[in-house]
Amino acid sequence: MTPLLAVEDIHTAYGLSRVLFGVSLEIAAGECVCLLGRNGVGKTTTMRSIMGLTPPSRGRVLWQGRDIAGWAPHRVARTGIGFVPEDRRIFAELTVWENLDVAGRAAGRRSRWTVEAVFELFPVLRALRDRRGGFLSGGEQQMLTIARTLMGNPDLLLLDEPSEGLAPLVVETLRVKIGELKTQGLTILLAEQGVDFSLALADRVYVLEKGAIRFSGAAAELRADKALLHRLLSF
Amino acid sequence: MNRVALGRSIPWTLVVFLIAVWVPALGSRYDTFLGTQIAIDALFVVSLNLLLGTTGLVSFGHAAYFGIGAYACGILMKTYGVPFVIAFPAAALIAAFFALIFGFFCVRLSALYFAMLTLAFAQIVWAICFKWNAVTGGDEGLPNIPYPKLDWISSLPGLGDLSIADEFYLLTILMVALSFAILRQVIRSPFGRMLTTIRDNPERAAFIGLNVRAYELAAFVVAGGFAGLAGALYGIFNRGAFADYVFWSKSAEVLIMTILGGINYFWGPPVGAFALVWLNQEITSYTQYWPFVLGVVLLVLLFGFPGGIVGGLVAGYERLRRMLRPRHA
């Protein structure tokens, strides 16, 4: 079976500074895969490469068997890849509802996600419907960013460090919500530094170091082997 | 939130129109003349602000579409004897068409490069207007654009005998008000919200699936079309179309008006147009050093009120309201 997404040996650089040195990974439909690694190892760059925001200079990004490396970001988004960036910035000038509406229209594809449906998933947002994005808390913004991305009806969700900078209670809520999305059959690629957060959600794990994959295996394997975990991610 | 409520609960376009209608009856001929100039500039700046304030694109060459509108309307009316009712919308379409062609290249660049390319295209248009004697009259310009037939305005009940200038003023404010109503709808529509997302962050807009260039181009074309309408009115108002209309200093002037009034508000730029035209008239009657005074006024405004005149007024209103409100509320 062809994986939903296969990244094959991509090299990516920002100008002269090279960040990725031949990263390869695969995600099957319905899986939740975690990209673990410390700050600055290339997790965000991997996601930006997939999304077309920082196209790889070498290698292929196969989406349902088709090479999408080098496509413009809006085309990548429309083919069904939703990106929730690390800075979780919403459109500050628009209200919560407008943020969602804009995303639904921009995607230009029929969505099973309506504003009502994302409010079901994130009831907090319903109460904040007419609040402007700039006036939301960090956790609310993170939920709005995920909700906004869902409005584009993605088949694959790229979540870049969703738990970063959030209070523990909010992180827990977020974990439950992402778990719900996974149960609903959404395929997820999660980039994280937080081991507990990601291992609780992931089926499989890739560990990135200095722009290359250093380990790949089942999340359960890492959960069980504390020594291995420590060796891979000694902070 | 109250800021939004304050702005949105009042149909400003209608209010201003209803006030402006009285200028010929209550003011002097000179007031009507200034009023016409301000109304035309107001439309020109609002069209520019669709790019600047709404979409976040800085155009240094917006005068190109203003000038194209003036020439198109003038050439159609004078050379081909086309009536105003056709020449006027045609001017907008022709200006929009050129905006489409130039914009196609401009939106491929970002920020400063976008601005420079808009300037480059505008200067090309200027050079053509300046040199193509057979069509544009070259450096002589295109004088004696005929006035449209407007006697029907005087025959409307309650208006009585109006001078040609009064009639043209009324026509101008009506056209400007209609254009404002349309542009207001455009900005509030889902399309307008898309433009806001681009201003906020083009990259973010792209990865939610928005074709940023296509939307920027659409905004560029709409802005160009309405600038063309303003230009068409201006050509008739000045009884001629001249290459100055397209020169870069005209583009700079419209940018100054827009920033002076405040780009974050729909009514900011028209207030800026009003202020600049009025100041120009007042100050030149006292001193010949108008550019010097203008420079000082701009410096004070930019440092004192970075949000422009309207931004400053709104901030002052908010502060006043907070001071008057009881502490425990």
The rounded distance, in Å, linking the Cα atoms of A51 and A77 is 7
State yes or no: pLDDT of B116 exceeds 70. yes
- B109, pLDDT greater than 80: yes
Across B294-306, average pLDDT:
82
Assess B303–A contact: CB distance below 8 Å, yes or no: no
The alpha carbon of residue A28 is apart from the nearest alpha carbon of chain B, in Å, by: 22
Q: Which carries the bigger pLDDT value, residue B139 or residue A178? A: A178
pLDDT tops 60 at residue B20: yes
Residue of B203, B208, B211 lying closest to A103 (CB–CB): B208
Tokens representing A6?
Answer: 């296969």
* Both tokens assigned to A120: 């079901």
pLDDT > 80? residue B325: no
For A5, other C-beta atoms within 10 Å of its C-beta total: 25
pLDDT score, position A109: 66
Q: Which two tokens stand for residue B252?
A: 């700079």
Q: Round to whole Å and give the CA distance between B181 and B195.
A: 18
Tokens 């400053």 map to which residue? Answer: B312
Q: Which of residues 47 through 76 in chain B touch A, CB cutoff 8 A?
A: none
Q: Per residue in B31-67, pLDDT tens?
A: 889 999 999 999 999 999 999 999 989 899 999 999 9
Positive or negative: CA dihedral B27, B33, B35, B36: positive
Please say if the pLDDT value at position B155 is more than 80: no
| Residue B323: pLDDT over 90 | no
In angstroms, the CA B76 to CA B70 distance is 10
The per-residue pLDDT for B293 is 83
* pLDDT tens per residue, range B160-219: 677 888 888 999 999 999 999 999 999 999 999 999 999 988 888 888 888 999 999 999
pLDDT band at B149 (very low <50, low <70, confident <90, very high): confident
Per-residue model confidence (pLDDT) at position B8: 60
pLDDT at site A195? 81
Q: Are B258 and B48 in contact (CB under 8 A)?
A: yes
Task: State the smallest CA–CA distance between residue A184 and chain B in angstroms.
Answer: 21
Q: Which residue of A has its CA nearest to B210?
A: A106
pLDDT at B10: 78
Q: What is the pLDDT of residues A138-181, one digit of tens each?
A: 889 989 999 999 998 899 999 998 888 888 888 888 899 899 99
Whether A78 has its CB under 8 Å from any CB of chain B: the answer is yes
**Which pLDDT belongs to residue B241?**
81
pLDDT in tens, A82-102: 999 888 678 888 999 999 999
Does A67 contact B at CB distance below 8 Å?
no
Q: Is B201 within 8 Å of A89 when comparing Cβ atoms?
A: yes
Tokens of A83: 């990106």
Are the Cβ atoms of B200 and A93 closer than 8 angstroms? yes
Size of interface A-B (CB pairs under 8 A): 67
* Residue A61 phi, psi (nearest 5): -120, 105
Least confident of A149-158, B1-10, B19-28: B1-10
Nearest by CB: A92 against B200, B207, B211: B200
Q: Nearest residue on chain B to A107, judged by CA atoms? A: B209
Q: How confident is the model at residue B95 (pLDDT cuts 50, 70, 90)?
A: very high
Q: Does B209 touch chain A (CB under 8 A)?
A: yes
Does position B93 have pLDDT exceeding 80, yes or no?
yes
Question: What's the pLDDT at B2?
Answer: 41
Q: Phi/psi at A157 (nearest 5 deg)?
A: -110, 125
More confident residue, A234 or A104: A104
Q: What percent of chain A lies above the pLDDT cut of 90?
A: 41
Q: Give the helix ranges, DSSP H, for chain A.
A: 43-51, 73-78, 96-107, 115-121, 123-127, 138-151, 168-183, 195-201, 219-224, 226-232
Q: What is the mean pLDDT of chain B?
A: 87
Q: Select from A69, A140, A74 the least CA-distant residue to A103.
A: A74
Contact A102, B193 (CB under 8 A): yes
| B218-262 per-position pLDDT tens digit | 999 999 999 999 999 999 998 888 888 888 888 888 998 898 888
Q: How many percent of chain B have pLDDT more than 70?
A: 95
- Mark yes or no for CB contact A148/B200 under 8 Å: no
CA distance B42 to B326: 39
Give how far B262 is from chain A: nearest CA, Å.
16
pLDDT in tens, A14-72: 888 888 898 999 999 999 999 988 888 889 999 999 999 999 999 999 999 899 998 99
- Give A-chain residues touching B196 at CB under 8 angstroms: 91, 93-94
The ipTM estimated for the assembled molecules is 0.79
Q: CA-nearest residue of chain A to B193?
A: A102
Q: What DSSP string runs through B31-76?
A: HHHHHHHHHHHHHHHHHHHIIIIII----S-THHHHHHHHHHHHHH
How many other β-carbons are positioned within 10 Å of the β-carbon of residue A185? 9
More confident residue, B38 or B147: B38
> What pLDDT, on the 0 to 100 scale, is given for residue A61?
93
Chain B residues lying within 8 Å of A78, measured CB to CB:
209
pLDDT cut 90: percent of chain B above it: 38
pLDDT above 70 for B329? no
Q: Where in chain B are the domains?
A: 13-259
Q: What is the pLDDT of residue B5?
A: 47
Higher pLDDT, A217 or B3: A217
pLDDT at site B1: 39
Instruction: Write out pLDDT tens, residues B118-132.
Output: 999 989 989 888 888
pLDDT of residue A12: 92
Interface of B with A in 188-207 (CB under 8 A): 190, 193-194, 196-197, 199-201, 203-207
Distance from CA of B187 to the nearest CA of A (A): 13
Burial (Cβ within 10 Å: 0-12, 13-18, ≥19) of residue A120: exposed
- Whether the predicted pLDDT of B327 surpasses 80: no
